[in-house]
Amino acid sequence: MGNSGTLRTGIIGASGYTGVELLRLLASHPVLDVVYATGDTQAGTLASSLYPSLAAAYPSLVFAEYDPVQAAKCDVLFLGLPHEASMALVPQLIDKVRLIVDLSAAYRLVDSSQYPQWYGFTHDQPEVLKRAVYGLPELYRSALAGASLIATPGCYVTAASLALAPLVRAGVIDPSSVIVDAASGVSGAGRTPKLNTHFNTVDEDFTAYGLLDHRHTPEIEQVTGAKVLFTPHLAPMNRGILATCYAKPAAGTKPTSQSVLAVLAKFYNSEPFVVVRPASPSTKATLGSNAAHLTARFDERTGTVMALCALDNLTKGAAGGAVQAANVALGITETTGLSAVGVYP
């Protein structure tokens, strides 16, 4: 650990699903060297005991208790914490380390007045919030360069925004009434056992939740510039998100399936982690990768534009997207430590 040319990297809250995904990805990252990993609920536990998948890369890593002195010795910190826990730590650390990458929603919303309604807490750090850069390189790459605080997007938001933002920006769709139906694997609910994510509850079931008030709604609207009705669904699979987005065409436009697909293809032409194809995207095709797969159609019969995006909620939708954004901020080649190829079958 701590080789020359590497950056001392800490993961605060490494024992959750995003934490273990970060550990998996950073095990093969040549620059971001994990020297500190906390997991207060699992402090003192050998990481490979909780997650045997880490045994080869981290045979002696023990989850530590959080120590601000140890955290401040790092160059880069990833925070895999609840929203308010991140809010408590970031102001203490932001000027002591080179980069903080927060995977909670604590710094995602530009308008702090939205936090009480959507998240149930008051955001009392307007100056720190202004310093946060939204961590979706495909849409915010120039702002990410040199950032000191990155707000990693929500998993659903990544999928919906990648599908919709190019169409809004190109003036192809009417942004006043967009519908997003998206389904997620159960890992999106986190590692903590809950009745609604119990095997017997989830298996052989498919259900919508967060009707009309899911907290990712204002974030999707902020990123896309559209007014969105968002309905998330829980699917009986471990990982993956499939977002199906519907919108009416902008006034005066005459889109076709070919033209809306071409807008996406042109927008993402040079993006290493976005695949645009005529085929309907599949969550399994993205498994374990940092890739997002997209397609689009125009239905002449109903006059509706449809855009779809599939991705792995823990990789591109969380830890992988965080590493990608960190690479951009630190001036590291953006694809470092990440794969665009999924695990199949």
The enclosing H or E element of 174 equals: none
Residues 6+ apart with CB under 8 A from 120: none
Candidate list 74, 155, 245, 309, residue with the active-site label: 155
Q: What is the pLDDT of residue 4?
A: 55
Question: Quick one: DSSP state of residue 113?
Answer: G
Res 1: pLDDT: 41
- Enumerate residues 6+ apart whose C-beta is below 8 A from 271: 138
pLDDT, one tens digit per residue, over 35-47 is: 999 998 899 999 9
pLDDT in tens, 230-249: 999 999 999 999 999 999 99
Q: Which amino acid is at 53?
A: S
pLDDT of residue 315: 98
pLDDT in tens, 189-202: 998 888 888 899 99
Q: DSSP character for 256?
A: -
Measure CA 273 to chain center. Answer: 13
Enumerate domains of the chain plus CATH numbers.
Answer: 7-153+317-330 (3.40.50.720), 155-313 (3.30.360.10)
pLDDT value, residue 2: 45
Beta carbons of 34 and 6 less than 8 angstroms apart: no
pTM of the complete model: 0.97
Catalytic (active site) residue 245? no
